[in-house]
């Protein structure tokens, strides 16, 4: 079976000479839930723009489910649904028309387009708003409208460029559930996000792009396994007179009732508690200082910075 | 399959375009009808009665074809330039760019939208003209074909303006400084036989002259220009503008980075 997405030696140099992509290679398997992460300006949106035919590439090859974007453009486009980072619908059009028109652009007859629009707008909680113009929707509704629009021609590959940006946590979690469901139904999803918790929760494979290059491309588990030290924050039951010295762990003050503890990959949290109990430190609660993926992401990006 | 898919995509663009200008008919359809009524009252009624006859016709009757054609030209152009630029400005042109729609079809869809608006407003203005001038039809085939082809031509011109436009100022520069002067100097209000020989020659460089006269021939049977030359000029411009707009879209000018 062909790859859901295959990118070979993709380059993009803008007219001002800026090299946004320096020859990236990337494969995404069918059915995957794939994270494409990177700092701002790393080349994520340029890559997505090229895949979606919104940006002209300088060199390289892109194929979607085996259809080369240069030689079989229409077939490749038919396989792809895009939820872009910025709102890109006519804000004066009614919600249902935006979705139905998009279906029409893919050759879906109008009656069938209305049926599909109804299904996706209902699934995404927008059916009640179908006759309202898009500009009257809240930010979260606009994001969901773009998802409904991207799905109406039932693409095999869905690319979401920061789909939950600016969305409250309740809606974000309902969007996660929806994306998990359509992925479980067999649709391949590529996600870019700045919420690394989101990527960690949803995605099975991950690529990190920085300065126009792929600096990491592995499984989510594999990547998280590379984290050598995790930092935890400990909330204490009572203030301490002095910082305890533990044999295996380094502790730091945050304030008199809060400590930070580094735990190496080979050590266990149990051992930390045993050592803390021995030092007569009572801990009320424990949490990660940062998301694990966030910590790795920062490490990778820092390593890739020019010295 | 491709033919059917393309046909549905084309229909979709046309429906979207027609709904767009009909949703705001108070801005798009009503003003030209009111403006033209004022032209009829002032130029045709008040001033025209003192001018006398032109090309053997009452002045009011003479200006009717020109005013209808002027309305069709400006509205076809305005519809496409504003719609296309608006779709760039709000980025919803991307809805079409990500879909498997050939660029030629995007052009045809926008042009069809411009033609629909041009014809809708043209019919509205024609109805208003009936209040001032009796209906006359010399040759239905010539009338309809000239209206249609002229509307296509200026829709294409509006599209090219929309492709190049980078701000809202850019979509009003051409209509204000090029289209309006050419229309007014294109024989809407006078017969070019009234001009000195040199200016008659200069007027022949104005493509709108050929359209207004061909349309006047269709309605009234009088024209300053050979009808077939008018057709040749209109079709030539359509072919050139379509090819150029297709070239621009294929290159991604103004729409792809």
Task: Give, in order, the Cα–Cα distances in Å from A142 to each of A93, A122, A155, A190, B152.
Answer: 12, 14, 20, 20, 35
Residue A13, helix vs strand vs coil:
strand
Q: What is the ipTM of this complex?
A: 0.88
What CATH number corresponds to the domain at position A273? 3.30.70.1560
Which residues does B151 contact at the CB level (< 8 Å), separation at least 6?
B72, B73, B76, B114, B115, B118, B119, B122
The arithmetic mean of pLDDT across residues B182-187, rounded, is 83
A80 reaches B (C-beta below 8 A): yes
Which comes out higher in pLDDT, residue A266 or B167?
B167
A157 and A257, same domain (yes or no):
no
Is A140 in the B-facing interface, judged by CB distances under 8 Å? no
* 3-state SS, residue B244: helix
Q: How far apart are CA B112 and CA A236, in angstroms?
A: 72
In this predicted structure, what is the pLDDT of residue B148? 96
Q: What's this model's pTM, rounded to 2 decimal places?
A: 0.85
pLDDT at res. B7: 96
Share of chain B above pLDDT 70, in %: 100
Question: CB distance A101–B12 less than 8 Å?
Answer: yes
pLDDT > 90 in chain B, percent:
55
pLDDT at B71 (0 to 100): 92
The verdict on A93 and A187 lying in the same domain is: yes
Is the pLDDT at B127 greater than 70? The verdict is yes
Picking from A182, A178, A216, the residue whose alpha carbon sits closest to that of residue A36 is: A216
Residue where one domain finishes, among candidates A193, A224, A255? A224
pLDDT of residue A304: 66
Same domain, A220 and A233: no
The mean-pLDDT minimum among A37-46, B111-120, B158-167 falls in A37-46
At A5 the pLDDT is: 96
Q: How many domains does chain A have?
A: 2
Is the confidence at residue B119, as pLDDT, over 80? Answer: yes
Q: Which H or E element spans position B187?
A: none
- Chain A residues with CB under 8 Å of B249 CB are none
Asked whether residue A147 falls in the same domain as residue A186, the answer is yes
Rounded Cα distance, B225 and B42, in Å: 27
For A4, the token pair is: 């859901």
Residues A234 and A202 in one domain: no
Here the CATH number for the domain that contains residue A106 is 3.40.50.300
Confidence of residue B45 (pLDDT cuts 50, 70, 90): confident
| Same domain, residue pair A236 and A183 | no
B23 contact residues in A (CB cutoff 8 A): 92
Q: Which of A214-228, B76-90, B223-237 has the lowest mean pLDDT?
A: A214-228
User: Does the pLDDT at position B1 exceed 70?
Assistant: no
Q: Are both A123 and A250 inside the same structural domain?
A: no
Domain boundary among A176, A208, A224: A224
Residue-wise burial string across B34-54, b where 16 or more C-beta atoms lie within 10 A, e elsewhere: ebbbebbeebbeeebeebeeb
Give B176's Cβ-side CA count (13 Å radius).
6
Nearest to A46 by CA among A25, A21, A22, A26: A21
Does A203 lie in the same domain as A69? yes
Alpha helices by DSSP H, listed for A7-138, are 44-51, 73-78, 95-105, 110-123
Q: How far is B249 from chain A (nearest CA, A)?
A: 12
Tell me: the pLDDT tens digits for A90-111? 999 999 999 999 999 999 999 9
* pLDDT-flagged residues of chain A (< 70): 227, 290-292, 295-296, 304-307
pLDDT of A82: 96
B245 or A201, which is more confident: B245
What's the domain range around A251?
A: 229-304
Collect all residues from B whose CB is shorter than 8 A from any CB in A.
Answer: 1-2, 4-6, 8-9, 11-13, 15-16, 19-20, 23, 86-87, 90-92, 94-101, 252, 256-257
Q: Is the pLDDT of residue B50 over 70?
A: yes
**Could you tell me if A213 and A254 lie in one domain?**
no
Q: Which of A207, A224, A241 is the last residue of a domain?
A: A224
Residues A101 and A119 in one domain: yes
* Contact between B64 and B222 (Cβ < 8 Å): no
Sequence-distant (≥ 6) Cβ neighbours of residue A279 within 8 angstroms: A244, A245, A246
- The more confident residue out of A175 and B112 is B112
Distance, CA of B187 to CA of B181 (rounded, Å): 11
């Amino acid at each position: 079976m062909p790859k859901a997405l295959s990118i070979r030696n993709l380059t993009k140099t803008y007219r001002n000479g800026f090299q946004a992509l320096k020859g990236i290679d990337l494969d995404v398997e069918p059915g995957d839930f794939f994270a494409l992460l990177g700092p701002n300006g790393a080349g994520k949106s340029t890559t997505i723009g090229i895949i979606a035919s919104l940006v002209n590439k300088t060199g390289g090859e892109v194929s979607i489910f085996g259809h080369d974007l240069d030689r079989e453009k229409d077939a490749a486009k038919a396989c792809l649904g895009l939820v872009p980072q910025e709102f890109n619908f006519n804000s004066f059009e009614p919600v249902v028309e935006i979705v139905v028109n998009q279906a029409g652009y893919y050759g879906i007859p109008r009656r069938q387009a209305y049926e599909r629009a109804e299904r996706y707008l209902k699934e995404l909680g927008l059916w009640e708003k179908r006759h309202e113009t898009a500009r009257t929707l809240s930010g979260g509704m606009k994001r969901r409208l773009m998802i409904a629009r991207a799905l109406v021609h039932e693409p095999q590959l869905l690319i979401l460029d920061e789909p939950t940006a600016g969305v409250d946590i309740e809606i974000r979690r309902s969007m996660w559930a929806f994306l998990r469901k359509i992925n479980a139904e067999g649709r391949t999803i590529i996600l870019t996000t700045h919420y690394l918790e989101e990527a960690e929760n949803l995605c099975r494979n991950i690529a990190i792009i920085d300065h126009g290059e792929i600096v990491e491309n592995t499984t989510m588990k594999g990547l998280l396994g590379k984290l050598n030290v995790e930092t935890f924050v400990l909330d204490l039951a009572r203030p301490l007179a002095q910082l305890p010295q533990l044999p295996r762990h380094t502790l730091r003050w945050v304030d008199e009732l809060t400590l930070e503890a580094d735990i190496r990959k080979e050590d266990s949290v149990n051992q930390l508690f045993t050592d803390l109990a021995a030092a007569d430190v009572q801990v009320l609660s424990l949490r990660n200082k940062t998301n694990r993926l966030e910590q790795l992401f920062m490490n990778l990006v820092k390593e890739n910075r020019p010295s | 399959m491709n033919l059917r898919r393309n046909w549905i995509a084309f229909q979709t663009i046309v429906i979207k375009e027609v709904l767009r200008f009909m949703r705001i008919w108070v801005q798009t359809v009503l003003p030209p009808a009111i403006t033209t009524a004022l032209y009829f009252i002032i130029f045709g009624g008040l001033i025209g009665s003192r001018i006398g006859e032109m090309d053997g016709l009452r002045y009011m009757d003479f200006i009717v074809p020109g005013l209808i054609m002027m309305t069709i030209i400006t509205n076809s152009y305005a519809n496409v330039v504003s719609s296309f630029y608006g779709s760039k400005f709000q980025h919803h042109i991307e809805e079409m760019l990500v879909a498997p729609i050939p660029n030629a079809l995007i052009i045809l869809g926008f042009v069809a939208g411009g033609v629909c608006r041009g014809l809708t407003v043209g019919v509205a203005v024609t109805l208003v003209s009936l209040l001032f001038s009796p209906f006359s039809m010399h040759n239905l085939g010539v009338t309809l074909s000239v209206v249609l082809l002229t509307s296509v031509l200026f829709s294409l011109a509006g599209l090219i303006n929309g492709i190049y436009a980078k701000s809202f100022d850019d979509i009003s520069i051409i209509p204000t400084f090029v289209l309006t002067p050419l229309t007014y100097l294109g024989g809407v209000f006078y017969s070019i036989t009234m001009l000195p020989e040199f200016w008659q020659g200069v007027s022949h460089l104005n493509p709108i002259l050929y359209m207004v006269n061909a349309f006047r021939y269709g309605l009234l049977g009088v024209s300053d220009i050979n009808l077939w030359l008018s057709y040749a000029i209109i079709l030539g411009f359509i072919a050139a503008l379509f090819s150029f707009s297709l070239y621009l879209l294929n290159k991604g000018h103004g729409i792809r980075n």
